[in-house]
Amino acid sequence: MAANSSAILRRALLYVPASSPRMLAKSLSLTSDNITYDLEDAVTPSAKPGARTALTAHLSNLTARPSTIRELAVRINAVSTPFALSDLTALAPLPQVDAIVVPKVASASDLTFVTDALRHLAPSRHAAASSSSSPTTRPIKLIALIESARAITDLSSICGASPYLSGLIFAAEDFALDMSLTRTPSLSEFLYARSAIATAARAASLPSTIDLVCTSYKREEGLARLEEECRGGKAMGFNGKQCIHPSQVETVQRLFAPGEEEVEWAVRIVIADEKAASAGRGAWTLDGAMIDAPVVGKAKTIVSRAESCDMDVETLRNKWKDQEPE
């Protein structure tokens, strides 16, 4: 059970405090795959009602999502708090809300609660019998924050808890607190948890796996650390990263998009494979390397993601239109 859509692209998930009128206004001028308005960690308990009201007004005044933003999301408060239902009651009916980020998901029941609330509060978008991928209903997608040892051990149930679930996010700081860990630059203490999340998301066909926050974002040292974390996360199977400052977004979106050489290689594979298939050839070679079905599948995935990232794939197709399988 998942909102299985390869069209979902969340390279950068940028948090914006809902308690800041200035940041709410500024957010609409940013370029990011995802903007997540935060009602949880960024807002003190006493300020939550005011932040919720301000965010509701902010979203209600939007006639359309800015073209530079692919998705508008809201991080509500945890289901275990007295704030979650009020958050959902105020925001779920708004057509401008594309996704809900659910924090501190410890078990499937947390997502079941949110799913039931969405069906009650926005029934036209969440009819229980309708397809979650129907373009006419456009249901609110759910993204689950994995923050505890309990959640890591229950990932299979969590991934199957809601037809609207479309991704997992790893919350490193809360996980470190739960496990009494100290975060180090190597991030080795999170290796098991991150691998488990990326693997579980893939097994459940969830389109989005969002890696931990890079807490460094100032000066050259911060940029170098961010780039290192992006490459490491991508190598582990994550396809996006949380951002806590707008200055991180460009780097994150660039590094979680396919590289130019990678896309060119993939286009050559796809073109040559079409010709090999026409000739009845299963395995063949390119540049001295054997190409078989798994390699072709990887190449097709890269091309599809490059197109989603608005890369100029058509020019590459024309450049390599004469590519033959060797």
pLDDT value for 4? 47
pLDDT in tens, 50-73: 999 999 999 999 999 999 999 999
Average pLDDT over residues 148-169: 98
pLDDT value for 2? 53
Distance of CA 197 to the CA centre of its chain: 13
Average pLDDT over residues 109-119: 98
Average pLDDT over residues 312-322: 94
Average pLDDT value over all residues in the chain: 93
Task: Provide the 3-class DSSP secondary structure of residue 151.
Answer: helix
Nearest alpha-carbon partner for 22 in 50, 48, 54:
54
E-state strands within the chain = 12-17, 32-38, 69-75, 99-102, 141-146, 165-170, 208-211, 240-243, 284-286, 289-291
Position 261, amino acid: E
What's the sign of the alpha-carbon dihedral 18, 35, 183, 228? negative
Average pLDDT over residues 187-206: 98
Terminal C-alpha separation, the chain: 42
pLDDT value for 305? 92
| DSSP for residue 128 | T
Q: CB of 243 within 8 A of CB of 38?
A: no
pLDDT band at 128 (very low <50, low <70, confident <90, very high): low
Task: Provide the 3-class DSSP secondary structure of residue 145.
Answer: strand
> HEC profile for 253-305?
HHHCCCCHHHHHHHHHHHHHHHHHHHCCCCCEEECCEEECHHHHHHHHHHHHH
Least confident of 8-22, 226-240, 276-290, 312-326: 276-290
Written as six digits, the tokens of 189 are: 């203490």
Q: CB of 218 within 8 A of CB of 248?
A: no
The answer to whether residue 189 scores a pLDDT higher than 90 is: yes
Written as six digits, the tokens of 210 are: 């969002």
Distance of CA 306 to the CA centre of its chain: 16
The answer to whether residue 133 scores a pLDDT higher than 70 is: no
pLDDT value for 130? 47
pTM of the model: 0.91
Position 40, amino acid: E
Measured CA to CA, the distance from residue 221 to residue 165 in angstroms comes to: 36
Least confident of 87-101, 123-137, 241-255, 262-276: 123-137
pLDDT in tens, 237-271: 999 999 999 999 999 999 999 999 999 999 999 99
Measured CA to CA, the distance from residue 212 to residue 240 in angstroms comes to: 9
Can you tell me which residue has the tokens 């924050």?
A: 145
Neighbour count for residue 37 (Cβ, 10 Å): 27
The rounded percent of the chain whose pLDDT value lies above 90 is: 88
Q: CB of 33 within 8 A of CB of 62?
A: no
Average pLDDT over residues 299-315: 93
The answer to whether residue 131 scores a pLDDT higher than 50 is: no
Cβ within 8 Å of residue 310, ≥6 positions away: none
